[in-house]
Amino acid sequence: MRIIAIVRLLIRDDPSRTAQLRASKTALSLGTSPNSKEGKILLLQSLQNKTGMKYKIEKNIEQIFSRFLSEGKVTIRLKIPAHDIIISGDPVELKGFLKLLKSALENEEVKMPTVVARKTMHVLPPSNLRLAFAGRGQFTATTSLPLATKELSITNNALLRFDPRIGRLKFLQVLDLSGNLLSSLSEELSSLNVIELRLRGNHLGCTNNFRWMKPGSLRRSLKYLDLGKNQLEHIPCEVTRFFELITLKVDDNYLTNLPNSIGYLSKLRCFSASNNQLTVLPSSIVKLNLTTLNLCDNQFMIPELNFVDPSRLLKVPTLKNAASKIVIKASIPHYEGHTPLDVIYHLCSAFYCICRKAVFDSKCTYVLLYSLRNISSEFFYDSSSDHLIPTRFGVCSSACYTKLTNIAAAL
């Protein structure tokens, strides 16, 4: 019997070697060795280990941890060598695999086919499975979802909840769940390597549960995200931690503002926030370098002059704000697991002055008309002021305040 799963080896007597081993897609074969002295064996073959790793199984399995079998997780502990084989795969396939393994262990007479290492090119099946279920009732709890699925589309299916089996599709690159009734997604999504995620036309704004945006491999893989038409009143600043994003769509929601840190998305090229209730943009947008920007059907208004009280600018800043300014000025890396979350959120809340210095006091801000021509080669914006859009800038000093008021007066 042969199954494909994600396998990680734990070498119990050498933790440093374990640290170097990564989980990889592996073919697990169970059968009899062509070498009669070895008897029944378990063979592991992966692209990293093309010749394969053979384990004798008779009287050599110390324990099988199968408590989480229903979630597709099993660990086989061997006596010699002192390895733990940590397997993550399709629960149905794993169940069959364990059944055969147990019967081989309990009954010496059970005959098993001969296992030989396959040639490299045949080791693993290609992960190019594309599955599409369009329309109500096309996808149900009993629909098969093979582990090798690369593209999955479940659209207009009236799905009420995120199917937990999707969280196990480790090879998934494209996930389209548009046009369903989802109000939240599973946290397990954060550990997938999805490149394209389409969620348009769901109800994510009903719960505002964005735990699927927590740190994980999704943060490093996602390039396309569509959150359009989800009744969203805000988008969390976590969205600006998906640093690989090239396209971000948040059209047809109820957004009144964008995260201050939107300018952190340095690879973003297409941004679309049409049909919302935006009145002003955060100043970090000046850092963006877009090819397409769509801001039609919002509520941008030419701002009234909102004078900053210059005496506020001369106040001694709090220690927290002073330190945050230094972190931003010196481009000191800050990320989850390394920097406390509340510090990250504080850094994300910065406004930027026209001199590009960070400002943390929202009372020291000034709304100025800014030209979209500076941030995008093509833009869609339905205003009589053509390319000028209200943007909230921080004011870092009396000198910058004077510059800002002069620019505003010249417009």
Q: Which residues bind Zn ion (CB under 5 A)?
A: 353, 355, 357, 396, 400
Minimum separation from the CB atom of position 346 to Zn ion (A): 19
Minimum separation from the CB atom of position 344 to Zn ion (A): 23
- Residue identified by tokens 């059209």 is 251
Minimum separation from the CB atom of position 260 to Zn ion (A): 16
Is residue 93 within 8 Å of residue 21, measured between CB atoms? no
Minimum separation from the CB atom of position 69 to Zn ion (A): 60
371-386: burial string, b at 16+ Cβ within 10 Å, e else: ebeebbeebebebeee
Q: Which of 261, 283, 262 is nearest to 273 (CA)?
A: 262
DSSP state of 142: T
Minimum separation from the CB atom of position 368 to Zn ion (A): 12
Minimum separation from the CB atom of position 402 to Zn ion (A): 10
Minimum separation from the CB atom of position 357 to Zn ion (A): 5
Q: Give CA–CA dist 401/311, Å, rounded.
A: 11
Is residue 61 within 8 Å of residue 78, measured between CB atoms? yes
Q: Give CA–CA dist 295/282, Å, rounded.
A: 14
Minimum separation from the CB atom of position 235 to Zn ion (A): 27
Residue 324 has a CB neighbour count (10 Å cut-off) of: 20
Q: Give CA–CA dist 397/403, Å, rounded.
A: 10
The nearer residue to Zn ion, 265 or 308, going by C-beta atoms, is 308
The nearer residue to Zn ion, 134 or 355, going by C-beta atoms, is 355
The nearer residue to Zn ion, 152 or 353, going by C-beta atoms, is 353
Q: Give CA–CA dist 83/77, Å, rounded.
A: 6
Minimum separation from the CB atom of position 397 to Zn ion (A): 5
The nearer residue to Zn ion, 346 or 357, going by C-beta atoms, is 357
Classify the phi-psi angles of 401: left when phi > 0, otherwise alpha if psi is within -120 to 50, otherwise beta: alpha
Residue 331 has a CB neighbour count (10 Å cut-off) of: 7
* Token digits of residue 40: 């029944």
Is residue 41 within 8 Å of residue 115, measured between CB atoms? yes
Q: Could you give the count of Cα atoms lying within 13 Å of 111 in the half-sphere of its Cβ?
A: 1
The nearer residue to Zn ion, 291 or 402, going by C-beta atoms, is 402
The nearer residue to Zn ion, 159 or 400, going by C-beta atoms, is 400
The nearer residue to Zn ion, 3 or 353, going by C-beta atoms, is 353
The nearer residue to Zn ion, 336 or 361, going by C-beta atoms, is 361
| Amino acid type, 208 | N
The nearer residue to Zn ion, 171 or 401, going by C-beta atoms, is 401
| Amino acid type, 136 | R
